[in-house]
Structure 1
């Protein structure tokens, strides 16, 4: 039998074990609202559990938790817009090439493996990814049919193939990234050009779009599922150098490495600008980030704020505004 602690017991635990000043009804209500495990335990470190934040007051924990929540409220609608738009641009390009069904795309567009000799390592690797993609899409269709998703059931009940636009509605951003990855080079470049992302210097093989999709999908999932985002712990792998170099060249924001959340705002602003979002709206996003950062700075020790935002935060904000 597992014996838990009451909220009063958790407050005593924070005082006696962690040296955090916490008492009174206001602190108790804040702890209940944020939760000990999702709240304190999720926000007691930066990046990894060894990099503990030296909290002395519970109000500092609440400030970091609120900062994280506010970041997600800024990012959520914009990341969702980017996901929808990129899928729609891709669909528009593919429809201009041929029939809007998966069988056609699978046979004639999702064939990047063909540029390699039959049976060699690259050929087998890309063929496996292509076959895995088909399985993932079939799984998504099956799941959404069983889940009574009208957009999928309609086509089955009318004995029709499920078109690409319906497939894009039900696959995750990660699976969509694999879809882009499996496209042949000509098709990838055509989509990149339609999104104004093609660069002869940085995007000669049309790979930058998939790089961006794989990068933002981790952020998207963290935001959508209310995971911690302020310290970028959602990042599963370091983005390729070609993407960092391209973003730095295009935006004028230097030292992009995606170790701090400001860099994720940079790629968000970059993509929104490419999608034609008005400058006034882009400036508003950057201003909100600046306000939240300053509010946090006034609520926690300066060294902790610097560890979270990076020592170059203000410079990057200025560079981002110049880009806009």
Structure 2
């Protein structure tokens, strides 16, 4: 039989084992509200579990947890806006190229493999990704039909092909990234041109948009599922050099490596600006981020704040304001 610890027992454990000052009804409520496992254990390190934050007072833990919560509140609606808008921009471009039922798009546009010779290893790799994409889309359609998603059931019940806009409604951001990846080069470039992102120096083959989608989908999933985001532990892959170079060139901001959360804010603001969001709204987002960061700075050791946010945070915020 496994016996757990009461909240009072957990407080004693934090004092006796982790040397963290914690006492009183306020700290007890804070611990109950955030939880020991999701809260303290999730916020006691930066990035990797071995990078322990030298907390001495439970109020410092609460400050980091609150910063993370407020950060997700700030980012969530803007990431959702970006996801919806980029799907709509993509759809609008594809409509100009011909029919947009999935089978037509699959046959005529999702054919990046054709630039390689049959039997070539890249041909096989591209073809496999294309077939995997079709399977993922069919899985999404099946799941949403079974889940009685009206937009999917309507076309099945009326014996009509499912248009691409309906598919975009039900696929996640990762599958959408694979969709972009499988498009032929001319189509990819047409989409990035419509978004004002095509660059002959950094985006010669139209790959920048898929790079961006794969980057922000990790943040999007962390925010949507209330995972920890303040230290970028959600990052599973290393962003390609062409993406870093492109964003640095486009924004005029140096040293964007996506190791600190400010770099993700930069790309969110970059995308929102491309989507025509007013400057006043963009500046408000950056000011809110800066306010939350300064509040955290006043509540934890400065060295810990620097480890979380990076040593050039203020320069990046200033440059981001200039970019806006």
TM-score, normalised to structure 2, is: 1.00
Q: In the alignment, which residue of structure 2 is the partner of 1:165? A: 165
- Within 1, Cα distance between the matches of 2:218 and 2:119? 33
Q: In the alignment, which residue of structure 2 is the partner of 1:12? A: 12
Asked if 1:275 corresponds to 2:271, the answer is: no
Q: In the alignment, which residue of structure 2 is the partner of 1:48? A: 48
Q: In the alignment, which residue of structure 1 is the partner of 2:213? A: 213
Write the deviation string for residues 244-277 of structure 1: whole angstroms up to 9, x where unpaired.
0000001011000000000000000000000000
Q: In the alignment, which residue of structure 2 is the partner of 1:117? A: 117
Asked if 1:68 corresponds to 2:68, the answer is: yes
- Within 2, Cα distance between the matches of 1:58 and 1:38? 15
SS at match of 1:27: helix
Structure 1 residue 172: deviation in Å? Answer: 0.4
Q: In the alignment, which residue of structure 2 is the partner of 1:309? A: 309
Structure 1 residue 2: deviation in Å? Answer: 1.8
Structure 1 residue 212: deviation in Å? Answer: 0.1
SS at match of 2:214: helix
| Aligned ranges 1:1-324 → 2 under 5 Å | 1-324=1-324
SS at match of 1:42: helix
- Within 2, Cα distance between the matches of 1:253 and 1:228? 26
Structure 1 residue 39: deviation in Å? Answer: 0.3
Structure 1 residue 100: deviation in Å? Answer: 1.3
Runs of 4 or more, structure 1, over 3 Å off, are none
Q: How many residues align?
A: 324
Write the deviation string for residues 145-201 of structure 1: whole angstroms up to 9, x where unpaired.
001111111111111111100000000000000000000000000000000010011
- Within 2, Cα distance between the matches of 1:178 and 1:205? 16
SS at match of 2:43: coil
- Within 2, Cα distance between the matches of 1:100 and 1:110? 12
Structure 1 residue 119: deviation in Å? Answer: 1.0
Query: What is the RMSD of the two structures over their aligned residues, measured on CA atoms?
Result: 0.4
| Unaligned runs of at least 5 residues, structure 1 | none
| Unaligned runs of at least 5 residues, structure 2 | none
- Within 2, Cα distance between the matches of 1:163 and 1:132? 19
- Within 1, Cα distance between the matches of 2:119 and 2:10? 60
- Within 2, Cα distance between the matches of 1:319 and 1:234? 25
- Within 1, Cα distance between the matches of 2:150 and 2:111? 30
- Within 2, Cα distance between the matches of 1:250 and 1:163? 34
Question: Which piece of structure 1 moves more, 298-307 or 3-12?
Answer: 3-12
